[in-house]
């Protein structure tokens, strides 16, 4: 009976952070603040691991960053190198066993790993590893990667080679930060599907999924990690290792559409600017005669501003989102389900009443919430509601870290635009073209994965393993 | 060492909600949703009391509404009449004993009370009551009111008279909802300083601090409770009792400036509209040559839009506020205090860089956060920062429910506008005039208390009792 | 479906503790340790209040002493005078509002009260107070007492008179400790039904329900508070005030039978010795030819030893009680209810098998658990089970602090001894005579209330008020 | 500063339980009750895993059995096969990662393992496994065993062979229960150092560390698992597999001295009876002229009874142990350390005063608590205190699951008996001889490991691996 708002939004898997300290910083606190800035990338669990001169200390749990850490815990996590992780909230069972960083002991010593992304050949590798005797305690790709590192360590002459070999074997998207006994390692997949950047705070190096985490701790942005690049920070400073696996750049375009924080700069392009541009382009592609442009909070606000700027139609604040709606939301009883959306959103009648409204959102997944918001606007007196979406129809499941349900649940997979318009009850509906979208990340020094729009997956995607460790904690 | 952001914002005391059911609704759930919509009025504690045919069942605790209630608790709270309360978060000790509704037994039976506001003669009444043998277990004004009701009950011929006598004795601001054995009662103070409105859901009556709570449960707005009015809902429907104490209307103007949710309509005026108007008026009073107008999130966003609309300067999104910053925020170590603000706010460089920025906020209390935000904007490349405040200088402490610290802490109490401008590092600073502000609540059928700006308190304010029950729970 | 073991045991209400410090002790910690030693008198809630030079700080919550307090809380509770309280666990709703000490502000300042006992005229006083305008927020007798103190304070010339007047009005059992702005007060009811003793730790005075709490903190036992005596400890030392209400001593005999800790000495008699003596006397009154004497853990162990010593039949350990059974016990599904008792108790087959067993318990309330234990012993091979009870048949409800259910539930109220024997399946059953029992507290300087055995209540007992504040927290 | 009582007692590692259901039992609840009965074997963490027709569901956490499980969780754990585990409480970091059962996926499917004991060659195997690429996520021996099973599965023709090969490789003590996709497996180490027995409940098979867990659920005791035996329960019933590794039986003698619950029967001998016999033998070996025999609660009570029976000196209850002392015990401030012991123990003056006391305890580890108890007895008026220990001096560290600190901390390792006597302040001190002790488990069908007394370890003990995964969760 519970209505899950989250099914109407796409979710990415995780955020990662790392620091190698040369300035006697309080690295656990810096990691904590970095994770705070990356919290939008995952609200299910969080963790920090530090290397305390040989041994790794860590703390991880289910919940938000501020719920998991306190002064006592942070004071305990002393060390020279730290990594951190935030993980997204699944709709099903949230396994505590899946919280990261994962801390393991292997031939090369004790390491901790934090991973953002998704391997498409994880099941295949698991099978191969199991055929060689490996056991798995979680359903995390991270555990697969740790096993590979352990095995390649045996046959490699140094960690550069170990990581390069590992990179050769795993397919899919990943931004990895790894804490080794004496170094901090960052790895980005050969296509650079997931973002990872390098910063510097005084003499210390920082790695983060997004530049906003650098800003949060006052670190200077240095550059993005390149696709297929392995960066190793140790006592000799930072060095780059070419994994030999780099391919043409294919950054996930959805980082710009929805995932990343608007104040981040990824692969050279400013996220907020890209979103405003997407709104502008949308106005060019799907102009409409209207009185006001509003954004669906929070995903559509930036693009709505762009639409307004381009079209000259005034920008307005037409919808209020209850910011206290959290993860635990008691549902109204069955006959009052519409209360659910009304508690989350309310219309600003004074902005809406009697007007022709353009509502901009970043995407439409199932369409359910969109339909209800259109109803709310009409109830508040909107004469017309023109829906504009700042990305193309989302038609193909993502295998690289976005948690879309099955293709069956993707409304654009199974319906024409006109059918969707009718379903959501809008007076018109316009999606941004892929060509238009690709122009928006101004200054981007990368190519893009657009598979969710056109099905052009950069790597072959097998039928995804459902769940290799089938059971689960209660 | 902890930096308390909250000291830079004004806080109101509480939100109240009540329902008298004639339709077999699940009243605990409706109250829960109503409180959810009123959560912005108080995040310290929340509670619901229901009348279960003679006895009162209740649940209250420290925390947010979704943290306190779950299905088991709500299912237990069955009844025909319910009231609810949310309470604001103090900076000091949060007494569990102060959570509301307060449930008491007296001569007239068992009642529950929930109160928003502040009595200025509470200490005086407490003294008088103590001289007659009363004891007090909390520092709540609600306990004072309950004692008065109990005493007037002894000498009154009906509850109308009991409540009217009580209203005559208490001075200050209050919006009260009371659950009696067979009725739901709402009382608004003689000046109507705190808001309270009446709604209807099918055949059931609802009372709420703001109309947004009516919207949340799908109830129809009927009217505001009048200053000094007592409304009683029982099996015979709703009737109005004139307390004989009503005075000229003096609604707290800060409800429009900052407290109320923008989608609420209070005493006839739309909050969001008033804020946009305040921005427009501000642009008229303090025009400036600039490239972009931004609002300080979240308080200044509406007025920034108005400023943009009036001035023609484009509206922009120049500041991002981390929405995961909650009540428990671990501070950076001392030498890194500025991290605190950076984690909460970040500038959108692409919107700001090289531009002359107008930043609009609703008010300046201490000025500390404002100064840091100006710094953030300048660091992000703003050529100029012009601060505009959509209310007059906040100079006088409030005795009617706003938690300002002492006058010493109010920057406008002790500094000229030019001094404040210099302190916050802005290139120019303009406050909305009181005359200008009073024009903004379009259609308001009320007068306003503007004491915080001009010192004109509607009732005599004695030196406030600091804390009648001095100790406190740890 | 839940089987409540506790219904088979009698429960007393509370334990109290107080200290007036003249040695710069850490009084919160001393009170904590004192309450730890009194934990057997109540496991529902606990609290400590300290007078911090004018204001009272306190902490109280539901749970066991070690669950409620930690170093942070105790470090916060600094002061010169402290009182503490433990409260028993009811079978029904446990109201957090009922946790003690109760802290109130009245004409005389701020005081804290902790109470063990039960007033028989509480309802009557409540009614009278309500008729004068008082309100009640809990169902505690303590709130009644606080109201009386507040009122008598108005007409008395000093606190001695205030307390003496209060004592005159309240009827029933009570051991009270009160923290006033500058003194620690202890009051014992006119019959001395509940115990209260005085100790000294260096130059500091201590009050406690039982002497075991003095031992725990290394304090020296001074004397018991006399029936009807008021002791006041302040800067001038300890002084005794005769309330003018003292009557002939009527200490609850059940303190010796079951409630008190065996290492305590109450009104001159050692509890453990009295129980051993009860066992001896039982052996004289109900001798039996048997092979082994065992006690039902833990209540019957002392008396079993006495029975063995007197009879010469060897003492044995025939039953093991699972010490991890706590307050939250998940029940077996319905068809396996007998598992419940088996998890709590198991027989030591090697002690029992083939033997004629004398099992001694302190009392039989409903008889249910007794019946099952007899079954367990027989299943373990006992040839005969002779039940011996170290107190007379429990026939009359207690109105002075023991939580017996209704008379209907008291098996001895409604059945002959032979009927009970048959119900519990024992081969013989013998109860200690009242005359025999009264001889057991060797050296006791007090008389005894034996109303539960003979119905001779020391004060008139009206139909007890069920619940003056009918509702309750969820 | 915290004084850890637990350092004065020996602690065993764990308890295990398993059930293969053929009767439609609620197996999660039965496992819960079984673990309740085994709680004395471990209070740090507990867990239950069930096989739900292919997938394994589990729940485990830190804490006591009743704290971890509730009806909701148990109702969720539906299945045909279940295993459970309780783990002891360490003095240092308690790793949540170490909680059991451990659930892993390997080539043979998904299995869950629960282990009691300690491998002496775990470090060696870990090294070998790491040399083949294995990674380790915990410091549990169980993870080592799971890896071996996974690897032997690859080369074995059936699970019998897989487990037999595993048994051949691991050295040390272990009682293992394993949940495979279609069977319940129990394995006991080749020396049978840790106990494991088989029971039957209707048509369902049960495995448990001790027979008291069978009693708790009403199951019938069938037999003990033999040293080196592998029992497999599946749809064809129970079959026994000889691992080919069985050796002469060497049950840990301390199971009889202290660990096991007195109502258990292990390898044919009754624990309670063995303890009583040890007391008898102690009286024969170290007679003394005294007035009363008391036991140190709870470990010395059984033997004290035996000493009394043999010597004819009356048995008494001279010490009371506060049963509410749990895992979280706030220490007195430094100058009051002796309060710590006084809060835990108090003497019964009426039993002790003026008497020559024999105090019996099961063992002396560091001697600290013993010294304080002797002091308490003397303070309570004991004329003489004669200490008697129902086992030989504990001189050699255990490598098979008993958590003794280093040899340096074992008082008997470094001191003569006379020196110990002087340290603890007793008037005389007598230890039971090893010969005497070995006679006490009447009817035992096993030999015993007595290494802690004589250093005769059944397998070679290398320098114990300190901590293979050195870091740890905070």
- Residue C145 touches chain B, beta carbons under 8 Å: no
* 8 Å CB contact of A262 and B320: yes
Ordered by where they begin, the domains of chain D are 12-250 (3.60.20.10), 270-444 (3.40.50.2020)
pLDDT (mean) for C317-343? 69
Look at residue C33 in the predicted model and tell me its pLDDT: 95
- Average of per-residue pLDDT across B320-348: 70
A316 at the B interface (CB within 8 A)? yes
Check C322 against D29: CB less than 8 A apart. no
Give the mean model confidence (pLDDT) for residues C157-180: 95
Instruction: Please give the Cα distance from B151 to C466 (Å, whole number).
Output: 25
What pLDDT sits at residue B339? 65
Q: Measure CB to CB from residue D105 to each of A52, A60, A469 and give the nearest one.
A: A469
pLDDT at C326: 66
Closest CA to D389 of D456, D306, D292: D306
Q: Which residues of B touch C468 (CB under 8 A)?
A: 105
Residue range D44-69: mean pLDDT, rounded: 90
The overall average pLDDT reported for chain A is 89
CA-nearest residue to C79 within chain B is: B471
Q: Measure in Å the smallest separation between the Cα of C252 and chain B Cα atoms.
A: 32
Helix (H) or strand (E) holding A261: none
- Output the CA torsion A307→A313→A317→A319 (10° steps): -70
- Dig out the tokens for D330 from the structure: 């706030």
Give the per-residue pLDDT at A12: 55
Q: Which residues of chain D neighbour C206 with C-beta distances below 8 Å?
A: none
C330: contact with B, CB 8 A cutoff = no
pLDDT in tens, A426-473: 999 999 999 999 999 999 999 999 999 999 999 888 654 333 334 455
D70 touching chain A per CB within 8 A? no
- Whether chain C has a CB inside 8 Å of the CB on B70: the answer is no
Could you say which residues from 182 to 241 on chain D have a Cβ atom under 8 Å away from some Cβ of chain C? Answer: 212, 215-218
User: What number of H helices and E strands is found in chain C?
Assistant: 17, 24
Residue A4 pLDDT > 60: no
Interchain proximity A351–B65, CB inside 8 Å: no
A298-302, A325-329, D431-435: least confident range: A325-329
pLDDT at residue A397 in the model: 87
Please tell me the predicted confidence (pLDDT) of residue C258.
92
Of D216, D270, D272, the closest CA to residue C324 belongs to D216
Going by pLDDT thresholds of 50, 70 and 90, the confidence category of residue A269 is: very high
Whether residues D146 and A135 touch (CB distance < 8 A) is answered with: yes
CA dihedral D56, D62, D66, D70 (to 10 degrees): -50
User: What pLDDT is recorded for position B52?
Assistant: 81
Instruction: Give the model confidence (pLDDT) of B380-397 as tens digits.
Output: 999 999 999 999 999 998
The pLDDT value recorded for residue D365 is 87
Two structure tokens written together for B466: 């600091």
Compute the nearest-CA separation of D151 from chain A (Å).
4
CA distance to B13, B385, B450, C341, D222, per residue, from D33 (Å):
50, 69, 67, 11, 19
CB contact under 8 A, B107 and C54: no
**Contact criterion met (CB < 8 Å) for A133 and D471:** no
pLDDT at A191 over 80: yes
D335 has a pLDDT exceeding 50: no
**What digits encode the pLDDT tens for the residues B118-167?**
899 999 999 999 999 999 998 888 999 999 999 999 999 999 999 999 99
Better pLDDT: A253 or A344? A253
Neighboring chain A residues of B309 at a CB cutoff of 8 Å: 314
Q: Is the predicted pLDDT of residue A94 greater than 70, yes or no? A: no
Q: Quick check: C60 and C46 in contact, CB under 8 A? A: yes
Chain A positions touching B316 (Cβ under 8 A) are 305
pLDDT exceeds cutoff 60 at D474: no
A315 touches chain B (CB under 8 A): yes
Cα A383 to Cα A354: distance, rounded to the nearest angstrom: 5
Residues of C in contact with B105 (CB under 8 A): 130, 135-137, 468-470
Chain A residues with CB under 8 Å of B40 CB are 324
At A417-437, the pLDDT tens digits run 999 999 999 999 999 999 999
The shortest C-alpha distance from B152 to chain A (Å) reads: 40
pLDDT band at D417 (very low <50, low <70, confident <90, very high): very high
Preferred mutation among D32, D75, D105 to probe A, highest tally of A CBs within 10 A: D105
Q: Which residues, including other chains, have CB under 8 Å from residue B242's CB and lie 6 or more apart?
A: B164, B228, B229, B230
- Is the pLDDT at A335 greater than 50, yes or no? no
Residues of B in contact with C472 (CB under 8 A): 55, 57-58
Q: What is the mean pLDDT of residues C380-397?
A: 96
| Cβ contact, residue pair D103, A135, below 8 Å | no
Do C321 and C348 touch, CB atoms closer than 8 A? no
Cβ contact (<8 Å) for C66 and D39? no
Beta bridge partners, C269, equal: C266
CA atoms within 13 A on the CB side of D354: 1
D46 at the A interface (CB within 8 A)?
Answer: no
Q: Give the helix ranges, DSSP H, for A122-190.
A: 122-131, 141-155, 159-169
From residue C245, alpha-carbon distances to A188, B391, B434, C445 in Å are 85, 67, 68, 19
Is D in contact with B (3 or more beta carbon pairs below 8 Å)? no
A339 touching B (Cβ < 8 Å) = yes
Residue B110, token pair as written in the block? 């068992």
Cβ distance of A471 and D103 shorter than 8 Å: yes
Residue C410 has pLDDT above 80, yes or no: yes
pLDDT in tens, C42-69: 888 999 999 987 789 999 998 889 889 9
Flag whether residue C71 sits within 8 Å of chain B, measured between CB atoms: no
Query: What is the model's pLDDT at position D468?
Result: 37
Q: Are residues C474 and B58, on separate chains, in Cβ contact within 8 Å?
A: yes
* Per-chain mean pLDDT for chain C: 89
Is residue C92 predicted with pLDDT exceeding 50? Answer: no
| In the predicted structure, residue C338 carries a pLDDT above the cut 90 | no
**Shortest CA gap B333–chain A (Å):** 8
Q: What angle do CA D235, D240, D245 make, to 5 degrees?
A: 140
Contact A332 B67 (CB under 8 A): no
Nearest by CB to C135, from B60, B104, B130: name it.
B104
Instruction: Check A339 against B262: CB less than 8 A apart.
Output: no
Mean of the pLDDT values across residues D273-278? 97
Establish if B104 touches chain C: CB-CB under 8 angstroms: yes
Nearest C-alpha in A relative to D110: A469
Query: Which residues in chain D are contacts of A472 at CB distance < 8 A?
Result: 55, 57-58
Chain D environment of C216 (Cβ under 8 Å): 339, 342-343, 346
Give the pLDDT mean for D254-258: 94
**pLDDT for the residue numbered B6:** 43
pLDDT value for B342: 80
Q: pLDDT digit string (tens) for B7-43?
A: 455 555 799 999 999 999 999 999 999 999 999 998 8
| Residues of A annotated catalytic, as ranges | 14
Q: Which residue would you say has higher pLDDT here, A284 or B6?
A: A284
CB contact under 8 A, C71 and D330: yes
Q: What are phi and psi of B169, to 5 degrees?
A: -90, -35
- Residue A284 pLDDT > 80: yes
Tokens of C402: 């023991």
User: Quick one: tokens of D89?
Assistant: 């409480």
pLDDT digits (tens, 9 = 90+) for D134-175: 999 988 899 999 999 999 999 999 999 999 999 999 999 999
pLDDT in tens, C237-274: 999 998 787 778 999 999 999 999 999 999 999 999 99
A24-33, C266-275, D391-400: least confident range: D391-400
Of A68-82, B330-344, D27-41, give the lowest mean pLDDT range.
Answer: B330-344
Using a CB-CB distance cutoff of 8 angstroms, which residues of chain A are in contact with residue B333? 26, 29
ipTM score assigned to the predicted complex: 0.90
Task: Tell me which chain B residues have a C-beta less than 8 angstroms from the C-beta of C154.
Answer: 131-133
Are C301 and D320 inside 8 Å of each other by CB? no
The catalytically annotated residue of D14, D212, D446, D452 is D14
Q: What is the DSSP letter of C315?
A: B
Distance CA A367, CA A387 (A): 12
Question: Neighbouring chains of C at 3+ CB pairs within 8 Å?
Answer: B, D
Beta-carbon pairs below 8 A across chains A and B: 156
Confidence class for position D6, pLDDT limits 50, 70, 90: very low
Instruction: Give the C-alpha distances (Å, rounded to integers) separating D151 from B364, C9, D146, D156, D468.
Output: 68, 56, 9, 9, 20
Predicted confidence at residue B227, as pLDDT, reads: 95
Instruction: Please tell me the predicted confidence (pLDDT) of residue A105.
Output: 93
Residue B55 contacts C, CB cutoff 8 Å: yes
A90-104, A233-247, A381-395, D411-425: least confidently modelled range: A90-104
Q: Is C279 at the interface with chain D, CB within 8 A?
A: no
pLDDT of residue B408: 75
Instruction: Provide mean pLDDT across the span A310-330.
Output: 84
Summarised one tens digit per residue, pLDDT across range B394-412 is 999 888 877 665 677 789 9
On whether any CB of chain D is under 8 Å from the CB of C457, the answer is no
Cα dihedral B318→B324→B330→B335 (10° resolution):
-20
Q: What is the mean pLDDT of residues C388-414?
A: 84
Is B262 in Cβ contact with A320 (below 8 Å)? yes
Q: Do C253 and C191 contact (CB within 8 A), yes or no?
A: no
- Active site annotation includes B14: yes
Distance from CA of B34 to the nearest CA of C (A): 20
Q: What is the pLDDT of residue A326?
A: 66
């Amino acid at each position: 009976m519970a209505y899950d708002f989250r099914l109407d939004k796409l979710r990415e898997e995780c955020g990662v952070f790392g620091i190698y300290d040369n300035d006697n910083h309080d690295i656990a606190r810096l990691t904590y603040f970095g994770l705070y800035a990356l919290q939008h990338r995952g609200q299910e669990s969080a963790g920090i691991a530090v290397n305390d001169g040989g041994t790794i200390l860590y703390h991880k749990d289910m919940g938000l960053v501020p719920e998991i850490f306190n002064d006592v815990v942070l004071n305990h996590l002393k060390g020279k190198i730290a990594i951190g992780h935030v993980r997204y909230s699944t709709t099903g069972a949230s396994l505590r066993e899946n919280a990261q960083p994962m801390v393991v002991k292997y031939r090369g010593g004790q390491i901790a790993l934090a991973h953002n992304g998704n391997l498409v050949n994880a099941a295949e590798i698991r099978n191969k590893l199991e055929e060689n005797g490996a056991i798995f305690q979680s359903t995390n790709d991270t555990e697969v990667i740790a096993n590979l590192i352990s095995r390649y360590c045996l046959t490699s002459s140094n960690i550069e080679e170990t990581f390069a070999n590992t990179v050769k074997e795993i397919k899919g998207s990943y931004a990895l930060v790894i804490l080794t006994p004496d170094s901090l390692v960052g790895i980005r997949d050969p296509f650079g599907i997931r973002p990872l950047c390098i910063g510097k705070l005084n003499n210390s190096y920082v790695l983060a999924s997004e530049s906003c985490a650098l800003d949060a701790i006052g670190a200077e942005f240095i550059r993005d990690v390149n696709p297929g690049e392995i960066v190793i920070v140790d006592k000799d400073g930072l060095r780059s290792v070419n994994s030999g696996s780099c391919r043409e750049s294919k950054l996930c375009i959805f980082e710009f559409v929805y995932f990343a924080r608007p104040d981040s700069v990824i692969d050279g392009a400013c996220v907020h600017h890209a979103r405003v541009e997407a709104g502008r382009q949308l106005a060019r592609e799907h102009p409409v005669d209207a009185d006001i442009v509003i954004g669906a909070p929070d995903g559509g606000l930036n693009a709505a501003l762009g639409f307004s700027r381009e079209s000259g139609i005034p920008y307005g604040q037409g919808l209020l989102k209850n910011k206290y709606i959290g993860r635990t939301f008691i549902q109204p009883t069955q006959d009052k389900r519409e209360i659910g959306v009304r508690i989350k959103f309310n219309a600003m009648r004074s902005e809406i009443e009697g007007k022709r409204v353009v509502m901009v959102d970043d995407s439409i997944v199932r369409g359910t919430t969109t339909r209800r918001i259109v109803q709310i606007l009409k109830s508040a007196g909107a004469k017309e509601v023109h829906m504009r979406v700042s990305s193309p129809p989302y038609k193909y499941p993502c295998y690289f870290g976005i948690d879309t349900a099955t293709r069956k649940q993707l409304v654009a997979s199974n319906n024409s635009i006109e059918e969707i318009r009718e379903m959501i009850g809008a007076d018109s509906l316009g999606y941004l073209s892929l060509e238009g979208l690709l122009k928006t990340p101004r200054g981007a020094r990368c190519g893009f994965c657009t598979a969710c729009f056109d099905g052009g997956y950069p790597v072959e995607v097998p039928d995804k393993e459902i769940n290799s460790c089938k059971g689960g904690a209660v």
